[in-house]
């Protein structure tokens, strides 16, 4: 398994395109109805994790691009400061990437801790105001409600859930009917049951690590919306038409009167743009029936696409001093160890000297030898067999050992 500039660039491109494709296609109402919002959330998270593995596996095939990827490699390997401690462009970019993660991560952790401190000193809501959620039928359906604490917030926020350890349900300071209260608390309890706070924090971590990638910000918005759809579906699946109508009235009332919720690491009644909210309402009214067949087919397609994204790597064309255009692989080339560097031979002809690290990447499949004589003893028969089929394309200096060229000869 190799990691290089080529694999990082390839993973960034293919991973981002796949994630964007999944967010667009699987975010449609038809797909959500057929495979279910929970399945969509799982697919998005799996696709995003792919970005953490910019690795060239044993089965990965290299595609060579002379102009674009050669230019990219030359840009990233260009040494700005030369000398004993040279600094290349890729090292500067890596430092900026890590610095961005540290700064953004520090800010988000600080904001999350500040939010929890503020919420935990809020006044508790008296039990007499929560009679509707302490009824036997409600507790039987949502037993987790007994593990939560209710607090009141004197701002026009939508209800939300906060805290991984000591979880709070934060309610705006206003009066609710018993039906509204049951809808709101039922919705938040489902967030608690499904560990949605954890998944939102995990998404924040992804967006922090890949802060430079706008696709993750797009996915974050869609994923948070999908979590709300997942909860709506579960909450309303056994409701009558009248109960769904009451739930929608409650949802519309809360969204209309609140300014939303922008606290880090919390989850609840989200305020979104009109188009996304309309989709949420439509899926409550007509959720559709989840098809196991569609889930299986979708899962297979996603798995194949994810596999294909690991099966290729885009490589630059590495310049050779001689033999330009010949394919350099284990059938045509070998390496001679020369201290800390390697001499590269193509069909027995010396073409360049390379070194361990990124520069070795195109030569990783070549055999290594201590001396040219040992190499010729092992490789000559293979080359002659190769040249038997390639004689019309190449001329061979290998026919006679005496014709071999060595560095400096």
Q: What is the pLDDT of residues 289-307, one digit of tens each?
A: 888 898 899 889 888 988 8
The answer to whether the CB of 298 falls within 8 A of the CB of 192 is no
* Strand ranges inside 173-317, DSSP E: 266-268, 312-316
Taking phi first (over 0 means left), then psi (-120 to 50 degrees means alpha), and beta for anything else, what does residue 49 get? alpha
Q: What is the pLDDT of residues 253-268, one digit of tens each?
A: 777 766 655 666 677 6
- Considering the domain architecture, whether residues 209 and 336 belong to the same structural domain is answered as no
* Residue 187 forms part of a structural domain: no
DSSP alpha helix (H) spans, 121-213: 136-141, 178-193, 196-209
| Domain end among 311, 339, 373 | 311
| Domain end among 287, 311, 335 | 311
* Residue 130 forms part of a structural domain: no
pLDDT at 354: 76
Choose among 76, 18, 10, 16: nearest CA to 302: 18
pLDDT at 394: 44
pLDDT at 270: 59
pLDDT of 392 > 50? The answer is: no
* Residue 175 forms part of a structural domain: no
* Residue 197 forms part of a structural domain: yes
| CA–CA distance, 316 with 319 (Å, rounded to integer) | 9
- Considering the domain architecture, whether residues 245 and 276 belong to the same structural domain is answered as yes
Domain that holds residue 373: 321-403
Q: How many domains does the chain have?
A: 2
* Residue 375 forms part of a structural domain: yes
- Considering the domain architecture, whether residues 210 and 250 belong to the same structural domain is answered as yes
Sheet with 349-355: list strands edge to edge: 349-355, 341-346, 333-338, 367-369
More confident residue, 396 or 339: 339
Q: What is the mean pLDDT of residues 201-206?
A: 91
| Domain end among 255, 283, 311 | 311
Q: What is the pLDDT of residues 214-226, one digit of tens each?
A: 999 888 888 888 8
Two structure tokens written together for 190: 């489902």
| Three-state secondary structure call for residue 380 | helix
- Considering the domain architecture, whether residues 213 and 328 belong to the same structural domain is answered as no
Question: 130-134, 187-191, 195-199, 289-293: lowest mean pLDDT where?
Answer: 130-134
- Considering the domain architecture, whether residues 11 and 30 belong to the same structural domain is answered as yes
| CA–CA distance, 394 with 71 (Å, rounded to integer) | 28
> How far is C-alpha 193 from the chain's CA centre?
25
- Considering the domain architecture, whether residues 258 and 365 belong to the same structural domain is answered as no
């Amino acid at each position: 398994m190799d990691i290089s500039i080529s694999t990082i660039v390839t993973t960034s491109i293919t991973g981002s395109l796949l994630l964007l494709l999944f967010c667009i296609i699987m975010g449609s109402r038809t797909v959500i109805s057929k495979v279910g919002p929970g399945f969509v959330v799982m697919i998005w998270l799996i696709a995003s994790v792919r970005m953490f593995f910019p690795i060239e596996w044993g089965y990965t095939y290299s595609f060579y691009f002379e102009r674009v990827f050669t230019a990219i490699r030359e840009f990233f390997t260009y040494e700005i400061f030369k000398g004993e401690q040279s600094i290349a462009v890729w090292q500067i970019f890596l430092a900026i990437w890590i610095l961005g993660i540290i700064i953004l991560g520090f800010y988000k952790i600080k904001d999350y801790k500040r939010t929890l401190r503020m919420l935990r000193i809020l006044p508790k809501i008296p039990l007499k105001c929560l009679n509707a959620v302490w009824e036997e039928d409600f507790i039987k359906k949502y037993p987790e409600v007994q593990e939560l604490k209710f607090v009141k917030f004197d701002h026009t926020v939508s209800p939300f859930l906060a805290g991984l350890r000591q979880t709070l349900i934060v309610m705006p300071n206003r009066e609710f009917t018993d039906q509204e209260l049951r809808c709101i608390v039922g919705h938040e309890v489902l967030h608690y049951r499904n560990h949605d706070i954890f998944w939102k924090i995990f998404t924040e971590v992804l967006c922090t690590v890949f802060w430079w990638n706008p696709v993750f910000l797009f996915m974050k918005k869609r994923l948070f919306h999908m979590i709300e759809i997942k909860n709506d579906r579960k909450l309303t699946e056994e409701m009558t038409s009248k109960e769904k109508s009451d739930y929608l009235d409650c949802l519309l009332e809360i969204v209309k009167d609140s300014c939303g919720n922008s606290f880090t690491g919390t989850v609840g009644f989200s305020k979104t743009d009109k188009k996304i909210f309309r989709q949420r309402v439509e899926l409550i009214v007509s959720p559709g029936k989840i098809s196991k067949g569609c889930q299986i087919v979708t899962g297979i397609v996603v798995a194949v696409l994810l596999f294909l994204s690991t099966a290729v790597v885009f490589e630059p064309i590495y310049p050779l001093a001689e033999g330009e255009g010949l394919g350099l692989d284990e059938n045509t080339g070998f390496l001679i160890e020369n201290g800390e560097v390697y001499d590269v031979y193509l069909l027995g002809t010396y073409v360049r000297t390379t070194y361990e690290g990124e520069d070795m990447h195109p030569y990783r499949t070549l055999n290594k030898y201590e001396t040219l004589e040992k190499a010729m003893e092992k490789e000559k028969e293979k080359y002659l067999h190769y040249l038997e089929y390639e004689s019309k394309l190449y001329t061979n200096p290998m026919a006679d050992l005496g014709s071999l060229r060595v560095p400096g000869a």
